[in-house]
Amino acid sequence: MQTITTLQAVYNALDHVKDPEIPVLSVLELGMITDVRIDLEGVHIKMIPTFSACPAINVIKENITNAVERELQMPAFVTVDKEVNWNSNRLTESAKEKLRNYGIAPPARHEGEVNLDMLIKADCPHCGSENTYLRSPFGSALCRALHVCRQCGMMFEQFKPLS
């Protein structure tokens, strides 16, 4: 017996798939899903990593497959979309707020070009101060940079802006 499902049901399942490196954000909030199609074979999902060399891409693909198959009881096929590149403007506003609450400064919105000033300036997610400095352009993951707040003294990561 074939189960009938809707796109909304697929998106509801995808909303439960969290990023393994930032577990407060779903793949939808990160803007990683580029296409969803349902046919007689199952659910076909196209996704993009936040960084081209993201080491978690296979884990994320597997988590998407498992969540959709578990929640919808039908086969899921996940592929990396080679036609679309991720950029930090794909983050939803709720994702940016969740990043701040998690202790990571969200990237600034850009108009298609990222400049060095956007990487250097990051508001502290702990106290909100603009009085911060870039300690290292390399954080715990490829998509993050390390900053220090001169106001509260806390070290924090920034999700790097990317165009």
pLDDT for residue 154 is more than 80: yes
Q: Identify the band that residue 1 occupies on the pLDDT scale cut at 50, 70 and 90.
A: very low
pLDDT for residue 2 is more than 60: no
**Region 130-151: what's the mean pLDDT?**
94
112: number of Cβ within 10 Å: 7
CATH number of 7-80: 3.30.300.130
What is the edge-to-edge ordering of all strands in the sheet holding 144-149? 104-105, 155-159, 144-149, 132-136
pLDDT for residue 89 is more than 50: yes
How far is 97 from 104, CA to CA, in rounded Å? Answer: 10
Looking at per-residue confidence, does 128 or 140 come out higher? 128
State the pTM of this model: 0.89
**Region 29-54: what's the mean pLDDT?**
94
